[in-house]
Amino acid sequence: MTCAKKAAEAPTDLLDGVLARLQLSGIRDQLDSLLDEAARANLSARETLILLCEREIARKDHRRIDMALKLAHFPAVKELTGFDFEAQPSIDPKQIRDLAASRWIANGENVLLLGPPGVGKTHLSIALGLEAILAGYTVQFTTATTLVAGLAKAHGERRLDEKLLALAKPKLLIVDELGYLPLERDAAHLATSSATRSSSSATR
């Protein structure tokens, strides 16, 4: 039986199978409503195809971001729009917006946010991490206490290289509360080793 004959006999089932095989779930799950939308708008075949592709991209982006947020382990999701710059006049909004463009991550650079407790360093680090995720980067958030404890444990179990490789997987590693933890020489060396394998943002 030819493909054309199959299409004539069961076009809906055939199309559903093709979309499933191509893993186009965004189009597959919304196909009828999308075609109705295209018909109401009198879209051409090319415009309809663009509509379908845009919705598929939107679905994939949504799933990527959702998964990236889970892997980031943020204690809470914070956005730059929710940060009160007026309450913290020492923080330059322009500089933060420039960091939000994530060019420093692409360049493999590090960022250190300095300041006393309560000025919003954790909020800003998470917000910059969120912007990095939206830009397509992988991110992991941790505290200095958790990082050092994990590295020390791995070192004692002779699997430090494995731990460092795991920490190097995300493009951006955010280390919070770095200045609150007194580090011995060996612990400081381990923490530095983890931070130099990818871009990092630390609050102190």
Helix H or strand E encompassing 192:
helix 185-195
Instruction: Kindly list the domain boundaries of the chain, sorted by start residue.
Output: 3-63, 80-203
- In the chain, the amino acid numbered 119 is V
Please tell me the CATH superfamily of domain 80-203, with its number: P-loop containing nucleotide triphosphate hydrolases (3.40.50.300)
- Does the predicted TM-score (pTM) go above 0.75? yes
- What dihedral angle (degrees, nearest 10) is formed by the CA atoms of 145, 151, 152, 153? 110
Residue 2 has pLDDT above 80, yes or no: no
The reported pLDDT for the residue numbered 117 is 87
Query: Which range (61-75, 159-173, 180-194) has the least confidence?
Result: 180-194
| C-alpha torsion angle, residues 27, 31, 52, 135 (rounded to 10) | -40
Cα separation, 60 vs 136, whole angstroms: 12
Using CA atoms, how far residue 111 sits from 71, 156, 161, 202, in Å, is 21, 30, 24, 6
